[in-house]
Amino acid sequence: MAVQEVFTLDQVQKLSRNQLSWRAAQEIDEGLYVNLGIGLPTLCTNFIPADREVVLHSENGILGAGPNPPKGEEDRDLINASKEYITLVKGASVFVHSDAFAMIRGGHIDLALLGAFEVSAGGDLANWTTGDPKFPPGVGGAMDLAAGAKAVWALTQHVTKSGAPKIVNTCSYPLTSAGVVTKIFTDLAVIDVTDNGLLVREMVAGLSLDDLQTVTEPKLTAANDLKVLAPPAV
């Protein structure tokens, strides 16, 4: 009897952090006011198409954040909420921290891209604590963004360092917000969270839906126009 080969993630080329962020940045529409959360989302700053007008908001008090500056050209007074050096685009404004949160809580942010420890089948987001005492909780502005932004996308590696799924049936960590995530970008796939379940729109080359299902708890469905996820080497 033939022995069936067991799929492992070593058999496919996962996206790098930059590639994952590049893919998410291509999805952002013209004219949106967007907040990029700490971690993977902030990398999107460098990959928004140059001919697309997107206004980046940072909760430390910036509207019109630009890409990271070249090494050696950093301005110590210009950082984002992740404490990373940034630039300002033409027409940018800088203001008090409380005004930045008033924009979020007032519903003026079109889209928030947030990192995630877990995302559930129904779009629940857990991204502020794992309960590990070695890593203190970091709420930041995530709860405000998850509740106040008009749309929320999650960016994350598909599995943990130990290989456990991060897209789960039910989040085991404390929730940041319930039912808010509409798109998930991982190093293996692009997935829409729909009323009918999780819809896979893109997967990396060499990966089958069955393979992806082995590292994802909720049932997956392939889109009719399922594409290969193949960003450039960025």
Q: Which residues are catalytically annotated?
A: 59
Burial of 10 (0-12, 13-18, 19+ CB in 10 A): exposed
Nearest to 112 by CA among 136, 73, 81: 81
Burial of 79 (0-12, 13-18, 19+ CB in 10 A): middle
Instruction: Measure the CA–CA gap between 45 and 159, rounded to whole angstroms.
Output: 24
Please report the DSSP string for 187-231 in residue order. SSEEEEEETTEEEEEEEETT--HHHHHHT-SS-EEEEEEEEEE--
Question: 107's torsion region: left (phi>0), alpha (psi -120 to 50) or beta?
Answer: left
